[in-house]
Every structure is written in structure tokens, then in C-alpha cells.
Amino acid sequence: MTIPVNPSATASALRVELAGVGRRFPDRDGARTVLRDIDLTLAPGEIVAILGPSGCGKSTLLRQIAGLDDPDLGNVRLDGTPVGEIDQRCAVAFQEPRLLPWRTIERNVAVGVPRGTDRARGAERVAELLRLVHLEHARGLRPRQVSGGMAQRASLARALARGPGVLVLDEPFGALDALTRLQMQDLLLEIHAAEPATIVLVTHDVDEALYLADRVVLLGEEPERPGEGATIRSVVPVYAPRPRDRADAALALLRAELLDGLGVPSHHTAA
């Protein structure tokens, strides 16, 4: 389903630039390099998925973009200006919805409305978002009274409440059952059509990456440089127009390419 761009969305999609980003963490041997030499630019409104083995630094990379952590090397810029600490131009949603259990769904979404917003305008914004994620009927329920998919929809609505220019998603559908996950993928594309933002998405699901993204970034260590931290191994553009057919043969070819890059032999991908 295509829904029109919301004229009351409060921000425009932003350009994201990572230049020479590196991140190290202390350990008992001194320091461990998690990320190195990350150079990546996301165009305004682009959807980019990040794939890679567990523990390769995907979530660490998202934290750099959102201003939740500072790189040791390089810099991150949004529309040419440095990302700030917990940058208000970004919004983040995680694998777990992290809703406040004592608040209704409506009041959980309202948590994302910027402070100082006129009360009537804030209520209008929350109502808009509840409609967008199809939760108008559940506005008065508590998180324990709704399904996992509904809770994750509320989490997305909360993230969108201030009209972010960049939406950072860390495996947002990873805890959902297979059918709900497919429905949430379609919903994310509806949301992106209605309230365009630049989206960077971490996922372990190759098919999800190919269905959603304009480009897929494969993150990981280079075999010839073990222990030196993950870097961008490849960037795979996905030229298939939307709405996409999950059974598209072109996507199947890209799937085999990405799985090979993840170290999964392509002959294991046959149905």
C-alpha cells in the first residue's frame, strides 16, 4: 500500500557521512579494535542495511551514527555537521520495544515528542503516528496487553515522534515470529513512504536486507588482517524497484552473493 507523504512531519531526511571511523575498546590486553577505516555515505532518504557476523561491530557502528558513542578515529556528520551526543536529529529503535510498562501505548508514543511541543500539537502528532502504525484501536492498552508486533509498532512510532532525519534500527524485527516479521517489513516501507528519513538498519537476515534496502553493506574482518577490527568488505546495490517480489530471481542472485560474503557457500542456499 502506498500512503502519501505526511506534510506535518517535522524533519527532512539527512545525508550521513562516515569518514575513517574507527573504534577501540579496552580489554585485559590493552585495547581491542572493533571497527576500522569505515568510509560510507548515505544519501538523504536512502535505506541501507548492514550485514555481518555476530560480534563484528554492527551495533557499535549504529551507535556512532546516532551519537550514542564517539569514534576513536574519524568522524560522523549529518548534512555536513558533526553528530552530537545523543543527536536529536537521529532516532533509534532496538530489537526489544523497551516500552514503559506502566504507560499506555499512546503515552509510550508520546515519550518521543520533543519537550516544549505545544500540548495540542503533541497530541495531534501522537494520533498521526498511531494511525500510521495501525494502532489507533490499542491506544489505551498497556504493553503487556499487546502482541510483540504491536509493541514493536509502538516503538517505531515513538522513534518517529520528533520527525528524525535519520532512523537507526538495530535488528528491530529480530524477536518476532516469521509472519509478523514480514508484516513489519512492509510496514517499515509504508512508514518510509509517509515520513521519509534516511534509514540505517542492522539485520542478520539476508532476505530482509534485500527486501528493504537500497544498498546492503557487508561488515566484517578481512581474512588477511585477523584481529584488526571489522571494516566494510563490500557494498551491494539493490536495483529492484519497490514494491519488491520476495521471489524475484534477481534478489536470489544477490542473496547468494551476500551469503558467500558471509562465508556461507552458495550451494547451501537452494530451496
- pLDDT, tens digit, 9 for 90 and up, residues 106-136: 999 999 999 889 999 999 999 999 999 999 9
> pTM for the whole thing?
0.90
Q: Cell 579494535 appears where? A: 33
Is the CB of residue 96 less than 8 Å from the CB of residue 175?
yes
Tell me how far apart the alpha carbons of residues 204 and 265 are, in angstroms, rounded to a whole number. Answer: 16
Catalogue all structural domains in the chain, each as residue range(s) with its CATH number.
Answer: 11-89+166-261 (3.40.50.300), 99-163 (no CATH)
**Each residue's pLDDT tens digit in the chain (271 positions)?**
233 333 334 458 999 999 999 999 988 777 889 999 999 999 999 999 999 998 899 999 999 999 999 999 999 999 999 998 889 999 999 989 999 999 999 999 999 999 889 999 999 999 999 999 999 999 999 999 999 999 999 999 999 998 999 999 999 999 899 999 999 999 999 999 999 999 999 999 999 999 999 999 999 998 888 888 999 999 999 998 888 999 999 999 999 999 999 988 765 444 4
Q: What is the DSSP string of the chain?
A: ------TT-------EEEEEEEEEEEETTEEEEEEEEEEEEE-TT-EEEEE--TTSSHHHHHHHHHTSS--SEEEEEETTEE--TT-TTEEEE-SS----TTS-HHHHHHTTSPTT--HHHHHHHHHHHHHHTT-GGGTT--GGGS-HHHHHHHHHHHHHTT--SEEEEESTTTTS-HHHHHHHHHHHHHHHHHS--EEEEE-S-HHHHHHH-SEEEEEE--TTSTTS-BEEEEEEE--PPSSPPTT-HHHHHHHHHHHHHTT--GGG---
Alpha carbon 15 to its chain's center: 15
Determine how β-strand 47-51 pairs with β-strand 73-78.
unpaired
Residue-wise pLDDT for 148-193, tens only, equals 999 999 999 999 998 999 999 999 999 899 999 999 999 999 999 9
